[in-house]
């Protein structure tokens, strides 16, 4: 018999199936369980008092009136935290951060005291009853002020901190870069600012801490993208035994990087529960979230590109200055101070590059933390593509052609990038071609003329980028010394149904759907027969969590590997059932059969039953396995985004006429989910380019602390996106997949900005910093000048 009886992979929800998201069943019915849904017997509620000043010495805190309010159970101040050695905590970047302020407040919104009460309203009354006497100090609200002579030292708590510089860091070959610039026919220069931005998850941060004195067990429900890291942090900071700590991340209403760090509120609620011996819930409000949690970006660039007349880029120089706020709490691999900024220009074949990065403290909430960025890659790719566009314009060469000349060729992999990464696969020219065709690039000159006749300015922008996704490998990537790898555990029950757990943590990305598809692909067990669980440290195997789009590259690989372990054991069971030796057994999706007699076979489900009911002598019973996966390299997805805009020069308003996205994230597990990730990412990119900014006045007051000022795009203003796919499998990933979760937010912004700049370049304008608000575009057109920096604060 030669006809295969292998299962139809798409039908069982395997690789490539646009399977409906199983988690949506509960989400769309309002049956998700978020931290605020957790209600425990005897639970108390916590509210945080935040500083109204950006920089001030605390002279005194009087909590007596708060203690007198009926229903108030506990009032915590920095002094009380200090008595337990908990006033400060370590950050993910070897800095320290105040949990509750003791000496000074260093940003508006910083945590000063906490009230724990019978209900949230009493807790809030308690917060309002606390009297704090502040002595205001001059505030530093941008990095240039931070570096000025005589600037007040923000971190005077640190003994070895003579100034406001957090780090100076460099990478690349400076001498080779200088030589490249000496040989250049032309040097293109550009100064840019990537403004501070906020991840804006729908669910704010929160925790429910439950310390049980009798069992000595601490359980914390928490909005964390990396629950195992939180467990380690609590064990180390609070000096509690790790096996007595259980961190549970239930459903999370969006993370976007906001929920990677450990926040003061988490730590305070834990201490409050230990002291009151009652569960304590803390739920941050929207303004608290907008002013105090981890911000993205806020970084300045001076960039230079050394060019040869024929369009070849000879070298690149980048100098960055980043604003880290009052505490350096960015999450990033320990080795790299400015994240993976040095992934810039990875898709281009450039002989020499040098990057000098400086980070400084300011009186703002911790910045640069993370926001759909893969450790600063968002900034890296934005700078890269703005510099490439300006360089093409300066040379007077077609922007698409210029990129093509400099792309790494398809046959030039593995390729060493200008800053030393090793990329391994891609078809950059093909992606660009598909994009150009789709957006009608060949016909653009005619369209531009036609628009000009109507009094409109037309522009086309291109952004091409490759993104390093999936930290580790463990040799180069660690956070606070903990190596970056990930894990999966698979238990196949006797009836062939299974439970899969990983060390990642979905926050909306759809892991419950896609991980089951990988198992289905590897084992032929229908995806509907596999339940996926993440986020409970008592049950999930150790993992570093979900950020930097590392889940598919690392945890997803572990899922494939653990499935293969199960298949190897199932093969032994199959040989036993078929009464042949293992070598004579062949596999096809869902079934083992005898090579010489393909009609004789057993299904994976029959093997599962045998593991519990009919195992051969000497074989360990059960069908369970664990796999830890340490990836050999990052994965390198590629994206090419093209945007066409039309500007009304009388108002500066710009409309997106067409947007084309061509993404190559290797093999797609679930095409529908991938497209959802890209659409969401592009929407965020559009918001950054078009409307969002959060800024500070001279006293450090945060402007944009509510969603009337900080705008979230809705379906109404978001343009349509046309998506195209190219598949270049990742050569080292077990199923050929690359990460995708952040690609569109990373590559998207430059496409919008480049399109507007293309439309206005005839006016002598080289740059408008984001957001490209109509008044800024109008000013640039009418004055012929660049518009730099964050939008100025308008005070009435």
What token pair was written down for 401? 């052609």
Catalytic (active site) residue 216: no
Q: Could you say which of 670, 695, 705, 767 contacts ligand MCN (CB under 6 A)?
A: 670
* Cβ-based neighbours of 82, under 8 Å, separated by 6 or more: 102
String of DSSP letters for 435-500: HHHHHTGGGHHHHHHHHHHTT-EEEEEEEEEE--BS---TTT-EETTEE--EEEEEEE-TTS-EEE
Task: Count the residues in the chain.
Answer: 796
Sign of CA dihedral 164, 298, 764, 437: positive
Q: Where are the alpha helices (DSSP H) in 584-716?
A: 604-613, 671-690
Site size toward ligand MCN, by CB under 6 A: 35
What token pair was written down for 274? 């230990």
Is-contact 647 456, C-beta < 8 A?
yes
Smallest distance from ligand MCN to CB 114, Å: 27
User: Within positions 356 to 395, which residues make up the interface with ligand MCN, using CB under 6 A?
Assistant: 372
Smallest distance from ligand MCN to CB 468, Å: 12
| Residue 260 interacts with which of ligand MCN, ligand CUN, none, CB < 5 to 8 Å by class | ligand CUN
Q: Could you say which of 738, 750, 760, 776 contacts ligand MCN (CB under 6 A)?
A: 738
Give 372 or 569: the residue with its C-beta nearer to ligand CUN.
372
E strand segments, 161-312: 165-172, 186-194, 206-212, 217-222, 245-248, 280-283, 299-307
Let me know if 389 is exposed, middle or buried by CB neighbors in 10 A (0-12, 13-18, 19+). Answer: buried
Catalytic (active site) residue 646: no
User: Within positions 168 to 227, which residues make up the interface with ligand CUN, using CB under 6 A?
Assistant: 225
Per DSSP, the three-state class of 629 is: strand
Q: Which residues pair with 663 in a beta bridge?
A: 639, 725
Smallest distance from ligand CUN to CB 741, Å: 7
Task: Note whether 249 binds ligand CUN by CB under 6 A.
Answer: no
Task: Note whether 374 binds ligand CUN by CB under 6 A.
Answer: yes
Task: Note whether 726 binds ligand MCN by CB under 6 A.
Answer: no
Selected catalytic residue, list 204, 373, 643, 665: 373
| Angle separating helix axes 743-760 and 671-690, nearest 10 degrees | 40
| Residue 677 interacts with which of ligand MCN, ligand CUN, none, CB < 5 to 8 Å by class | ligand MCN
Smallest distance from ligand MCN to CB 739, Å: 4
Task: Note whether 740 binds ligand MCN by CB under 6 A.
Answer: yes
Cis peptide upstream of residue 169 (ω within 30 degrees of 0): no
Give 13 or 468: the residue with its C-beta nearer to ligand CUN.
468
Q: At 374, phi and psi to the nearest 5? A: 50, 60
Give 329 or 546: the residue with its C-beta nearer to ligand MCN.
546
CB atoms within 10 A of CB 7: 19
Selected catalytic residue, list 97, 108, 110, 225: 225
Smallest distance from ligand CUN to CB 32, Å: 19
User: Within positions 528 to 567, which residues make up the interface with ligand MCN, using CB under 6 A?
Assistant: 546-552, 556
Task: Note whether 573 binds ligand CUN by CB under 6 A.
Answer: no
Catalytic (active site) residue 347: no
Selected catalytic residue, list 155, 317, 372, 567: 372
Task: Note whether 255 binds ligand CUN by CB under 6 A.
Answer: yes
Give 690's DSSP letter: H
Cα–Cα distance, 128 to 123 (Å, whole number):
9
Torsion of CA 277, 67, 106, 261, to 10 degrees: 20
User: Within positions 537 to 566, which residues make up the interface with ligand CUN, using CB under 6 A?
Assistant: 547-548
Q: Could you say which of 88, 371, 419, 721 contacts ligand CUN (CB under 6 A)?
A: 371
| Among candidate residues 748, 795, 787, the one with its CA nearest the CA of residue 770 | 787
Give 206 or 590: the residue with its C-beta nearer to ligand CUN.
206
Q: At 342, phi and psi to the nearest 5? A: -80, 10
Q: Could you say which of 104, 386, 511, 521 contacts ligand MCN (CB under 6 A)?
A: 511
| Residue 666 interacts with which of ligand CUN, ligand MCN, none, CB < 5 to 8 Å by class | ligand MCN
CA distances from 540 to 227, 240, 261, 545 (A): 10, 20, 20, 11
Cα–Cα distance, 745 to 371 (Å, whole number):
9
Stretch that binds ligand MCN, among 119-127, 531-539, 570-578, 732-740 (CB under 6 A): 732-740
Sign of CA dihedral 666, 668, 671, 676: negative
Task: Note whether 257 binds ligand CUN by CB under 6 A.
Answer: yes
Q: Could you say which of 73, 668, 688, 776 contacts ligand MCN (CB under 6 A)?
A: 668
Smallest distance from ligand CUN to CB 371, Å: 5
Give 71 or 713: the residue with its C-beta nearer to ligand MCN.
713
Residue number with the shortest CB distance to ligand CUN?
A: 257
Smallest distance from ligand CUN to CB 303, Å: 22
Cα–Cα distance, 586 to 4 (Å, whole number):
12
Q: Could you say which of 14, 261, 296, 508 contacts ligand MCN (CB under 6 A)?
A: 508
Smallest distance from ligand CUN to CB 545, Å: 9
User: Within positions 260 to 289, which residues make up the interface with ligand CUN, using CB under 6 A?
Assistant: 260
Q: At 140, phi and psi to the nearest 5? A: -110, 120
Selected catalytic residue, list 204, 643, 742, 766: 742
Catalytic (active site) residue 665: no
Is-contact 557 478, C-beta < 8 A?
no
Smallest distance from ligand MCN to CB 567, Å: 20
Give 78 or 368: the residue with its C-beta nearer to ligand MCN.
368
Task: Note whether 373 binds ligand CUN by CB under 6 A.
Answer: yes
CB atoms within 10 A of CB 494: 14
| Residue 311 interacts with which of ligand CUN, ligand MCN, none, CB < 5 to 8 Å by class | none
Smallest distance from ligand CUN to CB 266, Å: 17
Per DSSP, the three-state class of 640 is: strand
What token pair was written down for 279? 């569960």
Kindly report the three-state secondary structure assignment for every residue of 218-239.
EEEEECCCCHHHHHHHHHHHCC
Give 125 or 663: the residue with its C-beta nearer to ligand CUN.
663
Sign of CA dihedral 206, 212, 215, 216: positive
User: Within positions 478 to 507, which residues make up the interface with ligand MCN, using CB under 6 A?
Assistant: 507
Smallest distance from ligand CUN to CB 296, Å: 7
| Residue 126 interacts with which of ligand MCN, ligand CUN, none, CB < 5 to 8 Å by class | none
Give 192 or 548: the residue with its C-beta nearer to ligand CUN.
548
Query: With b meaning 16 or more CB within 10 Å and e meaning fewer, what string describes 520-538?
Result: bbbbbbbbebbebebbbbe
Smallest distance from ligand MCN to CB 373, Å: 7
Cα–Cα distance, 151 to 131 (Å, whole number):
29
Sign of CA dihedral 538, 543, 548, 550: negative
What are the residues binding ligand MCN (CB under 6 A)? 254-257, 372, 507-511, 514, 546-552, 556, 665-670, 673-674, 677, 680, 737-742
- Contacting residues toward ligand CUN, per CB under 6 A: 225, 255-257, 260, 370-374, 547-548
The catalytic residues are: 225, 372-373, 742
């Amino acid at each position: 018999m030669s006809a295969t009886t292998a299962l139809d992979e798409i039908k069982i929800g395997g690789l490539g199936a646009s399977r409906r998201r199983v988690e949506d069943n509960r989400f769309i019915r309002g049956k998700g369980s978020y931290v605020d849904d957790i209600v425990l017997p005897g639970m108390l509620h916590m509210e945080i008092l935040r500083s109204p000043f950006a920089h001030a010495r605390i002279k005194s805190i009087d909590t007596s009136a708060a203690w007198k309010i009926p229903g108030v159970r506990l009032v915590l101040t920095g002094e009380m935290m200090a008595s337990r050695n908990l006033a400060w905590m370590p950050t993910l970047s070897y800095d320290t951060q105040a949990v509750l302020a003791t000496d000074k407040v260093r940003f508006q919104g910083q945590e000063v005291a906490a009230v724990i009460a019978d209900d949230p309203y009493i807790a809030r009354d308690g917060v309002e009853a606390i009297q704090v006497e502040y002595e205001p100090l001059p505030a530093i609200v941008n990095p240039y002020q931070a570096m000025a002579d005589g600037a007040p030292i923000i971190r005077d708590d640190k003994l070895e901190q003579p100034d406001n510089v957090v780090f100076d860091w460099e990478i690349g070959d400076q001498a080779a870069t200088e030589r490249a610039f000496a040989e250049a026919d032309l040097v293109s220069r550009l100064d840019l600012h990537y403004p501070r931005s906020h991840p804006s998850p729908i669910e704010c941060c929160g925790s429910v801490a439950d310390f049980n004195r009798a069992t000595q067990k601490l359980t914390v429900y928490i909005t964390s993208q990396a629950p195992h890291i939180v467990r380690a942090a609590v064990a180390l900071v609070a000096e509690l035994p790790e096996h007595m700590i259980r961190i549970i991340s239930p459903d999370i209403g969006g993370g976007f990087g906001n929920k990677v760090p450990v926040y003061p509120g988490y730590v305070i609620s834990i201490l409050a529960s230990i002291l009151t011996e009652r569960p304590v819930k803390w739920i941050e409000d929207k303004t608290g979230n907008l002013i105090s949690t981890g911000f993205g970006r806020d970084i300045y660039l001076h960039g230079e590109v050394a060019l040869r007349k024929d369009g070849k880029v000879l070298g690149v120089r980048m100098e960055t200055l980043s604003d880290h706020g009052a505490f350096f709490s960015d999450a990033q691999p320990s080795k790299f101070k400015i994240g993976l900024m040095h992934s810039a220009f990875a898709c281009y074949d450039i002989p020499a590059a040098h990057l000098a990065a400086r980070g400084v403290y300011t009186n703002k909430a911790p910045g640069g933390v993370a926001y759909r960025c893969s450790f600063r890659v968002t900034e890296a790719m934005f700078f890269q593509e703005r510099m490439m566009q300006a360089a093409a314009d300066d040379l007077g060469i077609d922007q698409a052609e210029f990129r093509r000349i400099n792309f790494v060729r398809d046959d030039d992999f593995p390729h060493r990038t200008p800053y030393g990464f090793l990329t391994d696969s891609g078809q950059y020219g093909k992606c660009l071609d598909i994009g150009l065709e789709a957006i009608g690039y060949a016909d653009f000159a005619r369209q531009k003329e036609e628009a000009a006749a109507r009094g409109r300015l037309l522009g086309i922008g291109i952004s091409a980028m490759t993104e390093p996704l999936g930290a580790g490998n463990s040799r180069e990537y660690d956070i606070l010394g903990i190596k970056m790898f990930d894990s999966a555990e698979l238990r196949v029950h006797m009836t062939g149904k299974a439970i899969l757990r990983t060390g990642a943590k979905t926050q909306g990305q759809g892991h419950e759907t896609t991980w089951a598809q990988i198992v289905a692909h590897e084992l032929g067990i229908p995806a509907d027969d596999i339940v996926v669980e993440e986020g409970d440290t008592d049950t999930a195997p150790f993992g570093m969590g979900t950020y930097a789009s590392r889940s598919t590259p690392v945890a997803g690989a572990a899922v494939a590997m653990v499935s293969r372990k199960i298949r190897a054991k199932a093969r032994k069971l199959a040989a036993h059932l078929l009464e042949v030796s293992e070598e004579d057994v062949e596999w096809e999706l869902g079934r083992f059969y005898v090579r010489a007699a393909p009609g004789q076979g057993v299904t994976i489900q029959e093997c599962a039953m045998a593991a519990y009911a009919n195992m051969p002598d000497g074989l360990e019973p059960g069908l369970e396995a664990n796999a830890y996966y340490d990836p050999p390299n990052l994965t390198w997805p590629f994206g090419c985004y093209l945007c066409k805009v039309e500007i009304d020069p009388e108002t500066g308003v710009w409309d997106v006429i067409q947007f084309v996205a061509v993404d190559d994230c290797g093999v797609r597990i679930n095409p529908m989910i991938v497209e959802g990730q890209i659409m969401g990412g592009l929407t965020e990119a559009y918001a950054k380019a078009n409307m969002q900014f959060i800024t500070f006045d001279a006293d450090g007051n945060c402007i944009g602390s509510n969603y009337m000022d900080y705008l979230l795009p809705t379906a109404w203003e978001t343009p349509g996106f046309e998506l195209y796919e190219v598949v270049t499998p990742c050569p080292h990933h077990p199923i050929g997949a690359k990460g995708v979760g952040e690609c569109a937010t990373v590559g998207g912004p430059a496409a919008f900005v480049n399109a507007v700049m293309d439309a206005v370049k005839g006016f002598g304008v080289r740059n408008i910093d984001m957001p490209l608000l109509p008044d800024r575009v109008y000013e640039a057109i009418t004055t012929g000048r660049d518009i730099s920096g964050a939008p100025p604060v308008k005070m009435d």
